[in-house]
Amino acid sequence: MRLALHLAWRFLREGRAQSILILAGVTIGVAAYVFVSSIIASLQRDLLSRTLGTQAQIVVSPPEPEARALREDDTLIARRVEPPEPRRRPFDGWLRHVRALETTEGVSAVCPKVAGPALAGRGAAERAVLVVGADPSRLREIVDLASKMKDGAYRTGGDQALVGDGLADELGLRLGAPFRVTTDRGPTTLRVAGIFDSGAASLDDGWVVTSLRTAQTITGRPGDVTELDLRVDDVYEAESIAASIEARTGLEAVSWMERNRDLLTALKSQDQSSTMIRVFVMLAVAMGIASVLVVSVVQRRGQIGILRAIGASQRLVLGVFLLQGAIFGVIGALFGVALGAAFAKGLGNVTLFAIELEASILIGAASISLATGLVSALLPARRAARLDPAAAIRGDG
């Protein structure tokens, strides 16, 4: 091994220009791999956090009543079955469901919530809003508004409410300012305890967050909730957890994946295209290494023959050329990872999302580079090891 490494290094050093060129190729390939992987991973992370940061990962609600055809002794009486009229459905036994869901495997937080439409107004200005009522500490586990407070405090209770900066601008609301919230039950006056900027227009322009009790009063649902919002340990498990909740409880459970099919498709497409880019880049790298080593074997036929003649085994010759591939892989990985990371960090300064370098991407790139070096060296190495020494020395075999 030591001798094989020595010979491999000397061979690479002898063909310096060739070695530097292919090393540059491997470096650029690995850098492209790291760069593309980091950008895509960060972009996906950002998209997911923006999407899931403002909505529950699973929403559990009472089941929709099913429209059934009117029958009498197996005789269908109605000609057409109309869907039932929308009406308020009480969430029977929601507290029991909360306790059961809190112990469900994979579920990390449960927030009972009341949400209902209303009109928020101040003076003559009015805007359609969604009154959201929940325990603030539980709501924080689902939608972290506490960390996005622009003004005031994350505090609800009594007549205190949180509004988004969009709504505050529309209605001219400041901290402590009273405003009207009107539902079919009549108007209620709330006061602004805090203004948040979540980054999502639907929340910033349309949410009025109050305590659970206040929202129950405003929406006319005393003691009731409209839904249970859940957070899960693994966001990509949300769909299967939702399905198992539905099967177990008979409630309706909708995951973020079901609600955001387009986003999921976009994420998968990004994944696929980034995988294709990485595969083609590494294929190009592999072909580069292989072609250089094939040329190297041809150029060194005589030397290989002489080494075999003076006692070098086929295994040693195989090792010498495999190690050349490995050296390309290792050095290319070191430079490539550094270069790719630097590019990604540099781009992170000008993009709208933060680019984080994941250890798994860097280690993955380095491992793939080494594997590519070894695999692409395999064919030339076998060719070198199988050279007939007598023919190689004569220069004709």
Partner 1 sequence: MMGAEVRSDAMLELEAVKKSFGEGEARVEVLHGIDLRVRRGELVALVGPSGSGKSTLLNLIGLLDRATSGVLRVQGRDVAPLDDVALTKLRGEALGFVFQFHHLVPALSVVENVMMPAALKRGGFDAAMKARANALLEAVGLKGQGERLPRQLSGGMQQRVAVARALMNDPPLVLADEPTGNLDTQSSDQVFELLRERHRELGTAFVIVTHDPTLAARCERVVRLVDGRVVADGTPDEVLEDRRARKA
- What does the binding site for partner 1 look like in residue numbers (CB under 8 A)? 1-3, 6-7, 10-11, 13-14, 302-303, 305-314, 316, 388-390, 393-394
| Least distance from partner 1 to the Cβ atom of residue 393, Å | 7
Question: Of 6 and 88, which CB lies nearer to partner 1 in the complex structure?
Answer: 6
| Least distance from partner 1 to the Cβ atom of residue 332, Å | 21
| Least distance from partner 1 to the Cβ atom of residue 397, Å | 10
Element (H, E) at 370: helix 359-385
Q: How far apart are CA 292 and CA 42, in angstroms?
A: 35
| Least distance from partner 1 to the Cβ atom of residue 373, Å | 20
| Least distance from partner 1 to the Cβ atom of residue 346, Å | 39
Question: Of 230 and 312, which CB lies nearer to partner 1 in the complex structure?
Answer: 312
Local structure of residue 234 (DSSP, 8 states): S
Q: Which long-range contacts (CB under 8 A, 24 or more apart) does 387-394 make?
A: 387/297, 387/301, 387/304, 387/305, 387/308, 387/317, 388/305, 389/304, 389/305, 389/306, 389/308, 389/309, 390/305, 391/305, 392/301, 392/302, 392/304, 392/305, 392/306, 392/308, 393/302, 393/305, 393/306, 393/309
Question: Of 5 and 284, which CB lies nearer to partner 1 in the complex structure?
Answer: 5
Residue count of the chain: 397
Question: Of 305 and 332, which CB lies nearer to partner 1 in the complex structure?
Answer: 305
Question: Of 208 and 377, which CB lies nearer to partner 1 in the complex structure?
Answer: 377
**Per-residue tokens: 176:** 């402590």
Q: How far apart are CA 167 and CA 206, in angstroms?
A: 6
Q: Tell me, what amino acid is at 387? A: L
| Least distance from partner 1 to the Cβ atom of residue 356, Å | 44
Using alpha carbons, list the distances in angstroms from residue 312 to 7, 303, 395: 11, 11, 18
Using alpha carbons, list the distances in angstroms from residue 385 to 13, 226, 263, 370, 382: 20, 74, 53, 21, 5
Question: Of 293 and 361, which CB lies nearer to partner 1 in the complex structure?
Answer: 293
| Least distance from partner 1 to the Cβ atom of residue 306, Å | 4
Question: Of 62 and 319, which CB lies nearer to partner 1 in the complex structure?
Answer: 319
